Amino acid sequence: MKKILSIAVLLGTLLFTSCVNDLDQMPHNDTTSADVYATAANYKSVLAKLYGSFVLIGQDKGGNPDIESNNGQDYMRCYFNLQECGTDELASTWLEGDNVRNLTFLSWDVNDTWVSDMYYRIYYTIALCNEFIRNAGEGQISKFTDAEQADIRSYRAEARFLRALSYFHALDLFRNIPFVTENDPVGAFLPPRYTGKQVFDYIESELKDIDADLLSRTQVEYGRAPKAAAYALLAKLYLNGKVYTGKEYYTECIAAAQKAIAEGYTIESEYAKLFNADNHLRTNEIIFPLPVDSEHSVSWGATTYVICGAVSNTSDYQKPEKYGVTSAWGMFRIRGEVPALFNENDKRGMFFTEGQSQYLDIIDNQSNGYMVEKWTNLTDLGEAASNTVVGGVNTDWPLFRLADVYLMLAESVVRGGSGSSRAVALGYVNELRQRAFGDSSGNIADSEMTPDFILDERARELYWEGTRRTDLVRYDKFTTNSYLWQWKGGVKAGAAVDSKYNIYPIPASDLTANPNLYNDNY
Q: What is the pLDDT of residue 71?
A: 87
Q: What is the pLDDT of residue 62?
A: 59
Q: What amino acid is encoded at 341 in this protein?
A: L
Residue 158 included in any domain: yes
pLDDT (0 to 100) of residue 500: 98
Cα pseudo-dihedral 122, 288, 270, 298, rounded to 10: -50
Residues sharing a CB contact under 8 Å with residue 512, sequence separation 6 or more, in sequence order: none
**Which residues, 6+ apart, have CB-to-CB distance to 224 below 8 Å?**
4, 47, 51, 158, 215
What is the C-alpha separation between 67 and 28, in angstroms, rounded?
Answer: 12
Report if residue 155 sits inside a domain: yes
Q: Which domain holds residue 35?
A: 4-214+504-513
Tell me the β-bridge partners of 318: none
pLDDT at 7: 32
CATH of the domain at 23: 1.25.40.390
Instruction: Look at residue 421 in the predicted model and tell me its pLDDT.
Output: 98
Domain assignment of residue 25, yes or no: yes
Distance between CA atoms of residues 470 and 169, nearest Å: 10
Question: What values do phi and psi take at 266, rounded to 5?
Answer: -135, 160
Rounded to two decimals, the pTM is 0.94
Residue 161 inside a domain? The answer is yes
C-alpha–C-alpha distance, residues 422 and 416, integer Å: 10
Tell me which residue of 408, 396, 75, 55 sits closest to 231, measured CA to CA.
Answer: 408
Give pairs for 421-429: CB < 8 Å, separation 24+: 422/446, 422/449, 425/449, 429/454, 429/457
Strands 371-372 and 351-352: antiparallel
Inside any domain, residue 176: yes
Task: Tell me if 197 is assigned to some domain.
Answer: yes
The number of folded domains in the chain is 1
In a domain, 348, yes or no: no
In-domain check, residue 114: yes
Cα distance between residue 508 and residue 516, in whole Å: 13
Blockwise average pLDDT, block size 10, the chain, 522 residues: 38 35 44 84 96 88 76 95 98 94 98 98 98 97 97 98 98 98 90 98 98 97 97 99 98 99 98 98 98 84 95 95 94 97 98 98 97 98 91 94 99 98 98 98 98 98 98 98 98 98 97 97 94
Q: Nearest Cα to 66, choosing from 112, 123, 21, 116?
A: 123
Q: pLDDT at position 20, please?
A: 38
